[in-house]
Structures are given as structure tokens and as C-alpha cells.
């Protein structure tokens, strides 16, 4: 929907809002905007009652244009919170369109009484649904809104920034819940791991300074234990292990490549893992699916199935 803004008439206070072109909202006083809005809304309702939908839409578009600054003012309250102002204004305009189209003169006298909460709700919904790079739970999102409101309220009352304990007391929040909310404040735009630390050229990035918490010793021990056991497997079994645990293929993909059914692949994997556990002296998991034994006919089919190359990187003990 395109909203056109035409020049303001010479004397807006004496003009007829139903006959004049849409004025520039920046040049309208609050009284003139209210007068024009009221006249246009009632005229639009009259068109609607007469079945003139085209005339109603034209009049409601004028209402949206002359009240655009109201949407801008609501959007400006949420600036500098990690979301571009232009995006907030678009959400506010969407709320204004919804409010104008839903407004009923029989329920309320003033459009802005109905429109401002609708616009505010649309902007807050934009924050909730579309502006999180890392989305926390809905409960934390709602608590963030209450915490922000409490901080502003207490700051105005105390004349200083409130402490965490004062915010918790004002909202009757548990300190652990407050800590969870504060931790999620960076979820709109988390710091990039590629951000340089310092102003010098060639400075290390944030990701380079983070410690590596992986335990390579456990992985090396596992490789030392498994290498001899895997080397004693047949060519097909080694290929099966390679496809499943190195290439991370699904059972269906493995079955397609080896010319087997998915059930056969599942049974083969269960047997191979059981053999490997026995070879390294590991205990079998307590809760796992035990494959049924392969029948002689099934064994013949498996033996006749094509095999792939031996598992790369595994040498004989």
C-alpha cells in the first residue's frame, strides 16, 4: 500500500479534511491532526456503511499518513537497543495500519487511545519474534521487559542506577532469575568471535583468546584402544564403521551404498559394536537395542553384498 503525501493547504485550520489533499504530518499541530483524524474516521465509517469500500480505503490511508509521526514517536522509545530504528519504524507503521483499520468509533472516541497501545504491542512483538540472534526462552524475554521497566522506574525515583537487589525487590524476583535475565541481555547482537581485541593492527581476535576446553587425551586414548580392534574387522565391517562414524552417514544412506536394507545395516552395526566392545574390554550399554541374530539366508545375502575399500588410516597391529 503506497501512502502519498501532498502539500499542505494554505490555511489548515479552515480547510475541509475531506476535500483537501493529504497534508505533511510534520506541519500539523496536535489539534489539527486530531480534528482531521476524527473527521476522516467518521467519513470512512459512513463510506463503509454505504458499501463504498474504495472511498473508505482512501480516507483511512489519509488517517494513517497524518498520524505517522505518532508511530515514529513510539518507535523512537525503543531505539539504541540493538535493532535499527528503520526496522522499528516499519513495525510501528504496521501497528498503525492495524489500529486504523480496526478502530471502531462506537467503542472509543479518540483514535490515539486505541492506536498507541496497538503500535507499542507491534514493536514489542517485533523485538520478541524477529530481532534475536540467539533467542532465549519466552519467559526470559518477558522478564527482560519487566526488568528494563523497573530499572527506568527506580532510576527516576532514586536518582541513580538501581542495584540488582533493588530491582529484584521491586519485581519480587529471585536473584537466580534476575541473573538469567541479565545474562540474556546480549542475545540481540552477541559479540563476534572475529572482533579484534585492541586497536593495534594484527591484534588477536576474541575467538583466538578463548581457552580450548576439549580433552584431546581422551580421544587419543580411544584411538589407541580401537585401532587394533578395528584392524581385525572384515573389509565390509570396516567400511560400515567408516561410513557410519567417520562420514556420519545415516543407516539408510549406508544401505543404499552397500546394497543392503536398513534393517540389515542396523543389525550389522549392532554386531560390529558388540565385537569392538568385547575386543577392548568395555561393558555393553545397559539400555540399547539388541539386534536379532542373522538367519542363514540373511547371512548369505550379506556375504554376497558388495564391499567398499578398507577403512583408511587403520593399520594392522
Domain positions in the chain are: 25-130, 133-189, 228-304
Contact 249, 258 (CB under 8 A): no
For 17, residues 6+ apart whose C-beta sits below 8 A from its C-beta are 35, 36, 39, 40, 62
Tell me if the domain spanning 228-304 has CATH number 1.20.140.160: yes
pLDDT of residue 92: 92
pLDDT of residue 69: 87
Contact 37, 22 (CB under 8 A): no
Class of domain 133-189: mainly alpha
Please name which of 33, 57, 37, 30 lies closest in space to residue 105, comparing C-alpha atoms.
37
pLDDT of residue 7: 38
Grid coordinates 521487559 are at which residue? 145
**Rounded distance between C-alpha atoms, residue 21 and residue 31, angstroms:** 18
pLDDT of residue 4: 39
For 39-76, write each residue's pLDDT tens digit. Answer: 888 888 888 788 888 888 888 888 888 888 889 988 88
Please name which of 92, 59, 98, 62 lies closest in space to residue 75, comparing C-alpha atoms.
92
Mean pLDDT of 175-183: 83
List b or e across 242-264, with b for residues whose CB sees 16 or more CB atoms inside 10 angstroms.
bbbeeeebebeebbebbebeeeb
**Rounded distance between C-alpha atoms, residue 118 and residue 139, angstroms:** 22
Percent of the chain clearing pLDDT 70 (strictly above): 69
Q: How confident is the model at residue 213 (pLDDT cuts 50, 70, 90)?
A: low
Mean pLDDT of 172-190: 76
**What is the average pLDDT value for the chain, to the nearest integer?**
75
Beta bridge partners of 205: 196
The domains spanning 133-189 and 228-304 adopt the same CATH topology = yes
**Rounded distance between C-alpha atoms, residue 161 and residue 164, angstroms:** 10
**Rounded distance between C-alpha atoms, residue 210 and residue 258, angstroms:** 43
For 97-138, write each residue's pLDDT tens digit. Answer: 998 888 876 676 778 888 888 898 888 888 767 666 666 777
pLDDT of residue 267: 93
Grid coordinates 540472534 are at which residue? 133
**Rounded distance between C-alpha atoms, residue 168 and residue 150, angstroms:** 9
Grid coordinates 505517522 are at which residue? 68
DSSP state for residue 51 in the 8-state scheme = T
CATH fold label, 25-130: 1.20.120
For 292, residues 6+ apart whose C-beta sits below 8 A from its C-beta are 267
Amino acid at each position: 500500500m503506497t501512502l502519498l503525501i501532498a502539500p499542505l493547504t494554505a490555511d489548515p485550520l479552515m480547510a475541509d479534511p475531506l476535500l483537501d489533499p493529504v497534508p505533511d504530518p510534520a506541519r500539523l499541530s496536535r489539534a489539527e491532526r486530531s480534528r482531521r483524524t476524527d473527521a476522516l474516521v467518521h467519513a470512512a465509517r459512513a463510506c463503509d456503511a454505504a458499501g463504498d469500500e474504495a472511498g473508505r480505503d482512501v480516507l483511512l490511508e489519509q488517517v494513517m499518513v497524518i498520524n505517522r509521526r505518532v508511530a515514529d514517536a513510539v518507535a523512537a522509545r525503543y531505539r539504541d537497543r540493538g535493532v535499527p530504528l528503520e526496522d522499528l519504524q516499519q513495525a510501528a507503521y504496521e501497528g498503525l495500519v492495524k489500529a486504523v483499520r480496526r478502530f471502531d468509533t462506537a467503542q472509543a472516541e479518540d483514535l490515539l487511545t486505541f492506536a498507541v497501545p496497538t503500535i507499542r504491542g507491534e514493536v514489542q512483538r517485533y523485538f520478541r519474534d524477529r530481532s534475536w540472534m540467539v533467542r532465549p526462552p519466552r519467559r526470559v524475554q518477558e522478564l527482560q521487559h519487566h526488568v528494563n521497566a523497573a530499572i527506568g522506574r527506580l532510576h527516576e525515583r532514586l536518582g541513580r542506577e538501581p542495584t540488582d537487589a533493588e530491582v529484584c525487590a521491586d519485581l519480587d524476583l529471585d536473584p537466580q532469575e534476575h541473573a538469567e535475565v541479565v545474562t540474556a541481555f546480549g542475545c540481540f547482537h552477541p559479540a563476534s568471535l572475529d572482533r579484534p581485541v585492541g586497536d593495534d593492527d594484527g591484534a588477536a581476535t576474541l575467538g583466538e583468546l578463548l581457552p580450548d576446553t576439549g580433552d584431546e587425551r581422551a580421544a587419543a586414548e580411544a584411538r589407541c584402544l580401537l585401532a587394533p580392534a578395528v584392524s581385525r574387522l572384515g573389509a565390509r565391517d570396516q567400511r560400515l564403521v567408516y561410513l557410519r562414524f567417520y562420514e556420519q552417514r545415516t543407516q539408510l544412506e549406508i544401505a543404499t551404498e552397500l546394497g543392503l536394507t536398513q534393517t540389515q545395516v542396523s543389525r550389522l552395526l549392532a554386531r560390529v559394536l558388540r565385537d569392538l566392545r568385547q575386543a577392548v574390554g568395555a561393558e555393553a550399554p545397559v539400555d540399547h537395542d539388541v539386534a536379532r541374530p542373522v538367519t542363514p539366508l540373511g547371512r548369505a545375502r550379506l556375504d554376497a553384498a558388495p564391499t567398499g575399500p578398507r577403512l583408511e588410516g587403520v593399520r594392522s597391529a
